[in-house]
């Protein structure tokens, strides 16, 4: 099931001839996540904005990858204890990601995890 979904998502990018861009996007998302975990929020912000630019050249604000960008923004805002931005970004991510994945999907599950943490404090 997950492999099928992965191929469907990759297929969307194949139409644009951007498989290499998508691989760069994935690496940049991973790097942004590491910067958030290291507390390097300025670097993480720059990386997230770079990811958003790549996504918006090839897709729109309802795409899975844009949802990942919103997830990262929400996680970063959570770690900086900016609950208003964290909640907004995570709700946006949840709305987008829920159209692409089921409840047990990694990003959706973690988005909801952070939302619960924000809303319970």
DSSP assignment of 40-88, as one string? -HHHHHHHHHHHHHHHHHHS-TTSHHHHHHHHHHHHHHHHTT-HHHHHH
Give the pLDDT mean for 96-100: 92
Please check the confidence at residue 4 and state whether its pLDDT lies above 60. Answer: no
* pLDDT for res 1: 43
* pLDDT for res 7: 53
Per-residue tokens: 61:
């604000």
pLDDT digits (tens, 9 = 90+) for 105-120: 888 999 999 999 998 8
Instruction: Please state the φ and ψ torsions of residue 98, each to the nearest 5 degrees.
Output: -65, -20
Instruction: Indicate whether this model's pTM tops 0.75.
Output: yes
CATH annotation of 2-119: 1.25.40
* pLDDT for res 106: 87
Please check the confidence at residue 17 and state whether its pLDDT lies above 80. Answer: no
């Amino acid at each position: 099931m997950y492999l099928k979904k992965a191929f469907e998502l990759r297929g969307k990018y194949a139409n644009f001839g951007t498989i290499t861009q998508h691989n760069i996007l994935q690496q940049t998302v991973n790097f942004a996540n590491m910067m958030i975990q290291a507390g390097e929020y300025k670097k993480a912000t720059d990386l997230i904005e770079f990811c958003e630019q790549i996504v918006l050249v090839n897709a729109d604000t309802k795409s899975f990858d844009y949802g990942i960008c919103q997830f990262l923004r929400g996680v970063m805002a959570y770690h900086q204890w900016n609950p208003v931005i964290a909640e907004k970004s995570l709700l946006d991510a949840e709305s987008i990601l829920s159209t692409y994945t089921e409840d047990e999907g990694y990003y959706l599950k973690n988005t909801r995890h952070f939302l619960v943490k924000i809303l319970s404090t």
